Amino acid sequence: MTSIAAGSMLVLGGARSGKSAFAEQWIVRSGLDRHYVATGRAWDDEMRARIALHRDSRGPDWQTHEEPLHLVECLHRIDASGRAVLVDCLTLWVTNLMMENKDVTAEFEGLAGFVTQAQARLVFVSNEVGLGIVPDNRMARDFRDHAGRLHQIIAARSADVYFIAAGLPLKMKG
């Protein structure tokens, strides 16, 4: 039986579905100390601009931690009661792990173990990529499969799971 972390939440949705805004608003309403773990990498000017816009829109009440690879270690460093930690997003983390040829299974196991022991309220945001057509190349299929497995792992250990579409939340668990 999988242990469920009372303080964890998974927020899934498609691109531009409103999932990050939903997660951020939930944390603001929680009144907890706000931490934001950004997993994205600025590979080009467009991505740098996106990251800057995202960071600026959160405002000064958030402490930002940029961590594209060592997510579990980052979470251990900032874990404390009275905090809410938003991880945005898991699929970018999966991409980074794949690009660096990391042991994805071991990384997922490390995150799964941390989730059930965390003192902070963890809110994970991730792109649901398994609803479309089967990708036409192996790397894309592997990515879709890794993301789907990670979502199942985190959903099983989270008290609450939401799916966001068109800015509207559908509570799937909790």
Residues designated catalytic: 54
Tokens of 2: 């999988």
Q: Say what angle helices 104-115 and 90-99 make with each other, to 10 degrees.
A: 150
For residue 32, how many other CB atoms are within 10 A of its CB? 16
Lookup: tokens for 66: 């940029």
2 phi-psi bin (left φ>0, alpha ψ -120 to 50, beta other): beta
